[in-house]
Amino acid sequence: MNQSFLDAVLRFVELSSATVKRALDENAHYRQSQARASYLQEPLLEHLINTGIVASTQKQAAEAMLNSHAESLQLLKAAADKIVELRQQMGIKQANDLGRGDDSRVYFTAPGRGQYDSLQDPFIGRKTTEKKASDMALLKLVSGNS
């Protein structure tokens, strides 16, 4: 019975040691994360004040918000909502629309001409059957009309 008791005590010590090590690792990770956030907090606060996003009279309130992870996320959400609102007011597309053509406006016709104008085309190097500005320059050289 003595041997089984000693084995049980050793297992208990091993489990306790592993548990304490894991808790210490978690605590170290948390402190590292807090230190990184603290390092970034002051420059961000100064940037918010210098750009006029936060009034200098509201510095303490903004600092309190940045000290809280949950309030920082609320601040980030409010900023994202404001960006979306401004994009809608300005008619700017959303991020998932970037890289797609915009057929709502006619970019490739010159005002009053009604012809294809490669210099106004938003897609550089687009293949087309229309004459491009580079074609016109080459035709001018070939035909001898300088």
At 67-97, the pLDDT tens digits run 888 988 988 888 888 888 888 887 776 666 5
Distances (CA, A) of 16 to 5, 9, 22, 27: 16, 10, 10, 16
Residue 48 confidence (pLDDT) above 80: yes
pLDDT of residue 13: 93
CB 135 within 8 A of CB 115: no
pLDDT digits (tens, 9 = 90+) for 18-44: 999 999 999 999 999 989 988 999 999
User: Domain residue spans in the chain?
Assistant: 2-93, 104-146
Beta strands in 34-92 (DSSP E): none
pTM of the model: 0.48
Write the single-letter amino acid at 45: L
